[in-house]
């Protein structure tokens, strides 16, 4: 309650709090929008690059299968394994993962129905996305989570397309990319923006505090001088510096105080003259009245010697 009373009576706290809230809201709104735009831009750039890389990888794998088919002695199973193992870096290390899945879910010529790189779990590829790849001939992609046997989970994307392996059958080839590197960049940008935002808010608050003190100081001084004038100290005046609006306010206030002082002095003089006039009139009236009173006392003392009418009049005169 005491804090509320202080806040209610302080113009500085009101303006400072309001300006701080508005500044924080604006910085948060602008910073959030900028962060979202930067984050989306980084992810979109990664998606675009990944689509191009995946398309090239799938086309290259298809080309290798076609060339290998020219040699009847080529072990297609070993070639599939070679294509899968061709990625040396995992998705976490800014690399990619590759998966081959038999469309019929069968093992053919010692080729497992599902072959993945770097112990990637097949659950990383959503079943709904697999159905989409099986039903459409063009390249497909979606956001997903890369799950590993070790339990590690990465946010990323999967790109897939149907591919035919000669002498083996129809497979689905998937290329998966993790967003771990991009996420680290986004986190770094986020931390930097938070730090910059806090620093900017602190600078705005300090600047607002200095400016408000310069602006409110004359107003506070005017209030104090007005209170002193009200208490009867008519010699108090505001300190005037410069020629700006605040200085003009101080000059006008001092001129008003001078005018008020002159009027009060004038009224005080008029009051003293009035008191003196009343005193003089009272004195002038008191002297003849005293004489009349004495005469009335004498007449009243001798009323028995007068006519009854005069005697009654003397009694009424002293009543």
Quick one: three-class SS letters along the chain?
A: CHHHHHHHHCHHHHHHHHHHHHHHHHHHHHHHHHHHHHHHHHHHHHHHHHHHHHHHHHHHHHHHHHHHHCCCCCCHHHHHHHHHCCCCCCHHHCCCEEEEEECCCCCECCECCEEECCCECHHHCCHHHHHHHHHCCCCEEEEEEEEECCCCEEEEEEEEEEEEECCCEEEEEEEEEECHHHHHHHHHHHHHHHHHHHHHHHHHHHHHHHHHHHHHHHHHHHHHHHHHHHCCCCCCCCCCCCCCHHHHHHHHHHHHHHHHHHHHHHHHHHHHHHHHHHHHHHHHHHHHHHHHHHHHHHHHHCHHHCCHHHHHHHHHHHC
Residue that wins the pLDDT comparison between 55 and 84: 55
**pLDDT on residue 176:** 95
The pTM score is 0.66
Q: Is the pLDDT of residue 88 over 70?
A: no
More confident: 289 or 159:
159
Which pLDDT tens digit goes with each residue over 246-302? 778 778 878 888 888 788 888 888 888 888 877 766 666 666 666 666 666 767 677
Band of pLDDT at residue 89, cut at 50, 70 and 90 = low
For 18-188, which CATH superfamily applies? PAS domain (3.30.450.20)
Residue 27: what pLDDT? 94
**pLDDT per residue as tens digits for the range 224-241:** 877 787 777 777 777 777
pLDDT at 3 over 70: no
**Is the per-residue pLDDT at 22 higher than 70?**
yes
Mean residue pLDDT across the chain: 83
């Amino acid at each position: 309650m005491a804090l509320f009373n202080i806040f209610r009576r302080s113009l500085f706290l009101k303006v400072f709090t309001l300006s701080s809230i508005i500044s924080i809201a604006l910085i948060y709104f602008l910073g959030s929008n900028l962060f979202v735009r930067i984050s989306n831009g980084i992810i979109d750039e990664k998606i675009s690059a990944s689509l191009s890389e995946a398309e090239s990888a799938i086309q290259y794998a298809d080309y290798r299968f076609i060339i290998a088919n020219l040699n009847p002695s080529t072990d297609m199973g070993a070639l599939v394994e070679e294509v899968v193992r061709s990625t040396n870096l995992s998705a976490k290390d800014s690399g990619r993962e590759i998966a081959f899945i038999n469309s019929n879910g069968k093992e053919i010529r010692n080729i497992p129905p599902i072959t993945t790189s770097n112990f990637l779990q097949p659950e990383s590829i959503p079943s709904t996305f697999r159905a989409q790849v099986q039903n459409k001939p063009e390249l497909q992609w979606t956001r997903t989570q890369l799950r590993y046997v070790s339990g590690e989970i990465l946010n990323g994307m999967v790109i897939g397309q149907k591919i035919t392996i000669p002498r083996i059958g129809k497979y689905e080839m998937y290329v998966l990319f993790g967003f771990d590197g991009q996420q680290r960049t986004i986190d770094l940008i986020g931390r930097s923006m938070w730090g910059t935002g806090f620093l900017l808010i602190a600078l705005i608050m300090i600047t607002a505090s200095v400016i408000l003190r310069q602006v409110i100081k004359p107003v506070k001084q005017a209030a104090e001088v007005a209170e002193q004038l009200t208490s009867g100290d008519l010699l108090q005046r505001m300190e005037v510096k410069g020629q700006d609006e605040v200085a003009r306010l101080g000059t006008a206030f001092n001129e008003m105080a001078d005018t008020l002082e002159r009027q009060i002095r004038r009224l005080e003089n008029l009051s003293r003259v009035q008191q003196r006039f009343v005193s003089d009139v009272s004195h002038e009236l008191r002297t003849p009245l005293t004489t009349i009173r004495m005469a009335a006392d004498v007449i009243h003392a001798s009323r028995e010697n007068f006519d009854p009418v005069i005697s009654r009049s003397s009694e009424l005169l002293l009543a």
